[in-house]
Amino acid sequence: MPTSTTASSSNSPSPAEDLSTQEPSTREPSAQDPRASRVAALACGAIAIHIADIARRRGWPVDIHPLPPLLHNHPHRIAPEVEAHLGGLAAAYGKVVVAYADCGTYGALDEVCDRWGIARLQGLHCYDLFAGAERIEEWLADQPGTFFLTDFLVKSFDRTVWRELGLDRYPELRDDYFRHFTQVIWLAQDPAGELREEAERVAARLGLPLTVISTGDGALESALALLLAC
């Protein structure tokens, strides 16, 4: 990848209508448009900040276009939402990539990517992108009832998990939801300071023991490098 420019982040586009039947755009981006020499990364909002930091550090000419992280609570919406934004990006940028793993779409996102001839990040979910698929499989084989956290989930737990599950209104449902979980593993990109305290609070709210695994973002950086090379 060229290293003459740096990454920038755009605001998340407003929700668009479902364009899942739209044909891939054949329009070439204008050579006068500065975006024509850059890459658009349509990214999961839960990892968009990490991707922007990596791209900036590496000097990759990548613009981040984040989608709402709460789509993860409704994974059937991810593929249509991604496709709804691809036409405009493909018309403006020289290259478009999808910075999502499968994320519970059960292949629907791959169908969209295949239809548009673009690539996505490898892996079943963002946990693979931070810790590696083999380590995740090993932990789940040892304890299937493992609840994973990332830095994003630690920071946003009250909003993305507790409130989304209605536990702010019905806290007595906690044991029903988490009855079969046995541990919390925090895949920590930055396992220090207040965030560690927050991770401990999250585990305590779930009534589960916490294990902290320091991962950094090296695995995500490697996956992103492969994606941009496609």
Task: Tell me the pLDDT tens digit for each residue of 102-156.
Answer: 999 999 999 999 999 999 999 999 999 999 999 999 999 999 999 999 999 999 9
Q: Exposed (0-12), middle (13-18) or buried (19+): which is 84, by Cβ within 10 Å?
A: buried
Phi, psi of 134 (to 5 degrees): -65, -40
Taking the CA atoms of residue 54, residue 83, residue 27 and residue 64 in that order, the dihedral angle to the nearest 10 degrees is -20
Other beta carbons within 10 Å of 219:
18
Q: Which residues contact 90 (CB under 8 A, 6 or more apart)?
A: 24, 25, 27, 96, 116
Torsions phi, psi for 157 (to 5 deg): -55, -45
Domains in the chain: boundaries: 8-121, 128-214
The predicted-structure confidence for 161-215, as pLDDT tens digits, reads as follows 999 999 999 999 999 999 999 999 999 998 877 899 999 999 999 999 999 999 9
Contacts of 32 (CB under 8 A, 6+ apart): none
pTM for the whole structure: 0.82
Query: Distance between CA atoms of 171 and 111, rounded to whole angstroms?
Result: 39
